Chains A and B, each alone.
Chain A
Amino acid sequence: MAIHNILNNTGEWLRGEGPHHQIVVSSRVRLARNLKSFAFPGWAKKHERLQILEAIKPQVEALTEMNDAFSVYSQDLSALEKQVLVERHLISREHAAKGVGSAVVMNRRQTLSIMINEEDHLRMQAIRAGLQLKSVFKMIDKVDSALEERLDYAFHPKLGYLTACPTNVGTGMRASAMVHLPALVMSEQINQVIQAVNKIGLAVRGLYGEGTEALGNLFQVSNQTTLGEKEEDIIARLHKVIEQIIEHEQNARQMLLQKKPNTLLDHIGRGYGILRHAYSMNSKEALNLLSFMKLGIDLGFFPEGCRQPIDELFMETQPAHLQKGTQQKLAADERDSLRAEIIRAKLNEFPRPDVGLPPTSSAPDGNGSQN
């Protein structure tokens, strides 16, 4: 499969609908694995890295899950192509910086992606829409079990899977869910939630990690520790916490509808107005306004048909996605006008927010998010 097949089609998780997909954008599980008799990629010399790569890559390509895979050496991807993959969470930023000696293999649906010679010899991940950590784990676990038959993993009876970084040793697993929490941010409860989650050994990061002020009200919740707890237990614990976060977000939304309907409508209305009429917009502003649109759809202010275009814009307005269509590098101001143009075009047919729903009194069924 060629790179343009990947670039021109967004992954399944971006379109797919999963459980709780309104609030949980995606679930992801990654496993870190290393081969027994080679130095870790960061310490291995170039010829050794190439040896490792040639030992692993054919085995990964031979997986049944990868029978229609896109497989490519890092040096054969342009910087822009790599950036697109980063924006889709298919490779890490660290992997995007790699050249000769590294590769990535992903399936057509872009639900599985295996990085070779990232920080560890193998970094494999599965990603799907909505809250389905368990099935995502199963998916990647199966791949791991198939690979372990053919590759000699570095495994220690006491410490488990050995990784370049001691923070990953043990299960080598990082499970995470990306959640959209606009109401918790608006009602200023988000910090409490983050602190509570941190207390039980889970980490909360923004979409791009900038402190707690997450772009587009998107947060990633993940396990922080990997040693001393079973994979299934980590997943179950994380799942439970995410369910609680969903509940808090839903409560916060109802609270805003009942107590501060004007603030809520103002955010959504402004988002709609600016997105439809702006001629220049940076990606931070776009993400934040798109977040309000998404919330507006969840609350029934826009028809359900608006959901997919908005979800797509979250990705399409990212810098590399924006430029992949133009085939040339754009200056920041050119990107901003192109971004505004794409958004205007997509929102052209959008109806105005239907505030006829009586948000001032309590919603008819006490739940404005039915659809």
Chain B
Amino acid sequence: MHCDVCKTNQATVFLTQIVDGKMQKVNLCEACSKEKGVTDPTGFALADLLLGLGAAQEMERGGTVQKCPACGFSQADFKKTGRLGCATCYTTFADGLAALLKGMHKGTDHVGKVPARLAKSIEREVQLKTLQRDLKKAVASEDYESAATLRDQIRHLDVD
């Protein structure tokens, strides 16, 4: 059996992992397993490795954007490295990433820790979105009284 990465050497390291009921197998040769850090107890997750194998296509299917405007990182670079270039890449390649992340994680939204400094502004953003949605509804149903209140609330939030 040949190594999944270099496709030339004989595979000697066999990895199997089941994530949420999906079985994933990778066969590697000695050199590639070392290079990929399979022997590194801290850095290695099989998904990292798989990312480089199947994930690139997923990304490509997702979007047409070729390069991140912030850092110049391209889809081809992702294919090569399995890593992203910068924080903005998450926005640039959002469409492709969405499918990738969905298959990789438990959920699609972060529910954990939020940096204290950002917590306020994020909360406000969520509030703002809710108010705007309610305002639209109010206008659509010609409930102008509520709409006026909502509009004032939105203004108030914007000023803060």
Check A166/B40 contact, CB under 8 A, given A43-B73, A231-B112. Answer: no
Q: Give the contacting residue for A40; candidates B43, B86, B125; CB below 8 A.
A: B86
Does B76 count as interface, using CB distance less than 8 angstroms? no
* A171-B82 contact, Cβ under 8 Å, with A94-B37, A166-B101, A207-B41: no
Does chain A have a CB within 8 A of B159?
no
Q: Please classify how large the interface on chain B is, using the bins under 10, 10 to 19, 20 to 34, 35 or more.
A: 35 or more
Evaluate contact between A165 and B107: CB separation under 8 angstroms. Answer: no
- A-B contacts, 14 of them at CB < 8 A, read A30-B42, A37-B87, A38-B86, A89-B41, A94-B40, A155-B115, A162-B87, A165-B48, A166-B84, A167-B45, A205-B41, A227-B107, A228-B107, A230-B112
| Contact in complex: A92, B43 (CB < 8 Å) | yes
Cβ of A156 under 8 Å from chain B: yes
Chain A residues with Cβ under 8 A from B55's Cβ? Answer: 166
Output the nearest chain A residue to B86 by Cβ-Cβ distance. Answer: A39
B47 at the interface (CB under 8 A from A): yes
Distance A38 CA – B104 CA, assembled complex (angstroms): 25
**Measured between alpha carbons, how far is A230 from B86 in the docked complex, in Å?**
24
Closest to A148 in B: B115
A203: B residues at CB distance < 8 A = 17, 19, 45-46
Q: How far is the CA of A220 from the CA of B41 in the complex (A)?
A: 8
B1-39 contacts to A (CB < 8 Å): 13-15, 17-21, 37-39
Contacts of A231 in B (CB 8 A): 112-113
Whether a CB of chain A sits under 8 angstroms from the CB of B114 is yes
A210 within 8 A of partner (CB): yes
Report the Cα distance A368→B72, complex, angstroms.
Answer: 63
- A201 / chain B contacts, CB cutoff of 8 Å: 19-20, 106
Interface residues as binary, A148-175 with B (CB distance below 8 Å gives 1, 0 otherwise): 1100011111111110111101110110
Q: How far is the CA of A195 from the CA of B19 in the complex (A)?
A: 10
- CB proximity of B79 to chain A, nearest CB, Å: 13
The minimal Cβ–Cβ distance linking A262 to chain B, given in whole angstroms, is 33
Starting from the known contacts A154-B87, A210-B39, 19 additional A-B residue pairs (CB-CB under 8 Å) come to A39-B73, A40-B85, A42-B81, A43-B77, A93-B40, A94-B37, A94-B40, A167-B45, A167-B47, A167-B51, A167-B104, A170-B110, A201-B19, A201-B106, A203-B46, A224-B45, A225-B19, A227-B105, A227-B106
Assess whether B158 is interfacial by the CB under 8 Å rule.
Answer: no
Is the C-beta of B139 less than 8 angstroms from some C-beta in chain A?
no
When A and B form their complex, which 8 residue pairs have the shortest distance between CB atoms, in order from nearest?
Answer: A228-B107, A160-B110, A154-B87, A93-B40, A227-B105, A228-B106, A198-B18, A43-B85
- Closest chain A residue, CB of each to CB of B82: A165
CB distance from B120 to the nearest CB of A (A): 12
A300 to B110, CA, bound (A): 47
- In the complex, the chain B residue whose C-beta lies closest to that of A38 is B86
Q: Is A211's beta carbon under 8 Å from chain B? A: yes
Check: B108 CB closer than 8 A to any chain A CB.
Answer: yes
Cα–Cα, bound, A160→B47 (Å): 19
Using Cβ atoms and an 8 Å threshold, which residues of chain B touch A43?
71, 73, 77, 83-86
- A42: chain B residues at CB < 8 Å are 81, 83
A199 within 8 A of B: yes
Which residue of A is nearest B78, CB measured? A166
Q: Please name all residues of chain A whose beta carbon is closer than 8 Å to the beta carbon of B73 when the two chains form the complex.
A: 39, 43
In the complex, are the beta carbons of B83 and A164 less than 8 A apart?
yes
Alpha-carbon gap, A204 to B51, bound state (A): 19
